[in-house]
Structure 1
């Protein structure tokens, strides 16, 4: 059996952060990036507007690094298009997409459905990703919603510019997925794409892939907060975008239905520079992690270790020493925490702003990082890490690094 046949038979297998990366899902930045305006940046969770041609060039460079190191690269757009080959599934997808955008019935609801179903599938998928302007629809009558809202706002269906951060809408855990219930309205629809890929794409459909967390939950969890440390231990950020209720829901399901018996919930600051756990802590080798020093106050960090208890209850232990906790759950005698920007009070926050801690491990002790974080990169090399630098002037404007831009679905065991 060839490697591709094996991957197709077992399409999801992630039991660590560092096993050799075999298959990954990316999203090349598209027109949705150019549909950000200065007035809508905050609404769409951006601080700046990337220059699309340069961002695409940089993303292609990132993908080429992965391919050159033996990783199969899948693109989200292609997976979604292939998932919608049946008319009934296509109609269901459009209905759900419009519903998640807040249109439940009425003039705009009907016009959007008619417009999107009138497009060929690739064009329709592009449209829901890049957004639909008011001028693209010929509305016969005005709706109260449009009259009451800002008449100058150009979109009916908003663009999804954060889609190139494929890590967040779903996370691979073991042989299953956690489908994210996104915290902010601007990203809510993103996980719908992965729902249809899991359920209807030939690569995944019919493989009985478990879904550890459903996207329609009322609580919030995002993939950037979910770190798979080994085949039975996870770390999850209790963050701006992941709630305690969601962590407990996921833990309860994993404890009953998988090999996972230990989850560390780490409380991290609620701000845009540290929105997910993987922006401040990533595993890059058996005994090495990157860490942004600002998450540790006097060397302390609030953490809770979760274990399964009796009658479906969850046992919790409070801890504050990150090194001691990681050594204990990973059964290590030593641990190397490598600080962003070498801990310098000027360099560290600067490189953190450009995701100096957001490293993507493609094998134990081998990572992809942004080239602009040169102080952090040099420090990684001094600690024995192989570093592949990817271009980052435009991609970094979205506040996410190489780990954010990748959804591993197959890694080798370690």
Structure 2
């Protein structure tokens, strides 16, 4: 079966999109980590080994693993001119300094004649040391000054080190996709790859877009959870604006055809790094079970959005209740159980939440991928009867994202 089909967080996973960490992690200058949204520099070789094991675990469960970089290369191969179109847009968004430098970088990138290697290189970024810089006689003053600027690194084009978190650039909802405008310039370029997959790839071209990357407001895929075939949860967070959810609701309810979503539940969560996305607060692991960040316990403000009676209207109703009650209402399941990261121990919870203890990927109801290093949380999950697929995580976790963050389901079986 081709195309996108995701109507829950827990239906049996059939196809998933990953990105194997690449040379972008080698282009992470320590003094630019904050700007590139990283806290540390992962050891690439070990990170790749861990990621390969993650993919292998999924295949052992019968999941077809797709790789973002390969999908983009296949889109280029299937459509003459798509690669040049992509490169025009990539260079325009790359933040290159100097008047002649874009043309020089274009010439360099076109030396990568293999489409897959070309895609990987655009992800890795470009350093000055890779380029034959123009002679003074042929350069503009802007080029020369840029070449000797006080910029902290040797980068001409920044890498995309966060790209192995494929959850965020787009989000699959039903048979369509939110192609996001992301929170930071650093990450927004990542959505280009999704654009060309859903525009040109033989299996995915023509996929309906419920949100577009040129929207005026920002949103990210980690804030989107498919609760049921008709109910969607979206976080109002550090990375997703309320105005973006307004626009999403307009598109889903009024401006696009084929979307079955009838209710959007907007969860108002604190705008902080600890609560970066909704899926760092809770993830569904079974029909009636969720892992949660214990700091979110208590009363929540949640807004229920539905299609209005008049064209273009969206009705909004506020709910103020416990997370259990809101999730029971939204999913239609009685007796929802919330399993806290760290098992209620505040020190363990803080430590393991830092390593995404409540960010899990459900492969089928009750079977979930977890990080090995979160042993306290994992022990609690074992005692709750969950089947844990344990992913090695010494280096992958340095990027501050868990198994759900590292995966974008393309197809799940309906519940």
Q: Would you call these one fold, judging by a TM-score over 0.5?
A: yes
Residue 166 of structure 2 contacts residue 406 of structure 2 at CA under 8 Å; is this kept in 1? yes
Structure 1 segments (4+ residues) deviating >6 Å: none
Question: What is the aligned counterpart of 1:133 among 101, 106, 127?
Answer: 127
Matching of residues 213-292 of structure 1 within 5 Å: 213-256=211-254, 257=257, 258-292=259-293
SS for the counterpart of 1:320 is strand
TM-score of the pair, normalised by structure 2: 0.94
Looking at structure 2, the residues matched to 99 and 137 of structure 1 have their Cα atoms a distance apart, in angstroms, of 18
Equivalent residue pairs, number: 402
SS for the counterpart of 2:32 is coil
Q: 1:211 matched to which residue of 2?
A: 209
SS for the counterpart of 1:171 is strand
Q: 1:302 matched to which residue of 2?
A: 301
Matching of residues 142-157 of structure 1 within 5 Å: 143=142, 146=146, 149-157=149-157
Residue 107 of structure 1 contacts residue 139 of structure 1 at CA under 8 Å; is this kept in 2? no
After the TM superposition, which of the residue ranges 315-324 and 367-376 deviates more from structure 2?
Answer: 315-324
Q: 1:4 matched to which residue of 2?
A: none
Looking at structure 2, the residues matched to 411 and 169 of structure 1 have their Cα atoms a distance apart, in angstroms, of 19
Q: CA deviation at 1:314?
A: 1.4
Residue 16 of structure 2 contacts residue 410 of structure 2 at CA under 8 Å; is this kept in 1? yes
Q: CA deviation at 1:23?
A: 0.2
Q: CA deviation at 1:332?
A: 2.1
Looking at structure 2, the residues matched to 96 and 87 of structure 1 have their Cα atoms a distance apart, in angstroms, of 16
Q: 2:34 matched to which residue of 1?
A: 42
Note the alpha carbon deviations across 1:252-288, whole angstroms, 9 max, x for none. Answer: 2222332111111111222223211111111111111
Looking at structure 1, the residues matched to 159 and 31 of structure 2 have their Cα atoms a distance apart, in angstroms, of 14
Structure 1's unaligned 5+ residue stretches are 1-6
1:58 aligns with 2:50: yes
Looking at structure 1, the residues matched to 378 and 252 of structure 2 have their Cα atoms a distance apart, in angstroms, of 35
Q: CA deviation at 1:104?
A: 9.5
Residue 32 of structure 2 contacts residue 152 of structure 2 at CA under 8 Å; is this kept in 1? no
Residue 263 of structure 1 contacts residue 307 of structure 1 at CA under 8 Å; is this kept in 2? yes
Q: CA deviation at 1:309?
A: 1.1
Q: CA deviation at 1:148?
A: 8.1
1:22 aligns with 2:14: yes
Q: 1:171 matched to which residue of 2?
A: 171
Matching of residues 109-120 of structure 1 within 5 Å: 109-120=102-113
SS for the counterpart of 1:44 is coil
SS for the counterpart of 1:77 is helix
Looking at structure 2, the residues matched to 154 and 270 of structure 1 have their Cα atoms a distance apart, in angstroms, of 33
SS for the counterpart of 1:39 is helix
Matching of residues 87-106 of structure 1 within 5 Å: 87-103=80-96, 106=99
Q: 2:62 matched to which residue of 1?
A: 70
Looking at structure 2, the residues matched to 301 and 381 of structure 1 have their Cα atoms a distance apart, in angstroms, of 28
Looking at structure 2, the residues matched to 147 and 53 of structure 1 have their Cα atoms a distance apart, in angstroms, of 31
Residue 302 of structure 2 contacts residue 319 of structure 2 at CA under 8 Å; is this kept in 1? yes
After the TM superposition, which of the residue ranges 184-193 and 324-333 deviates more from structure 2?
Answer: 324-333
Structure 2's unaligned 5+ residue stretches are none
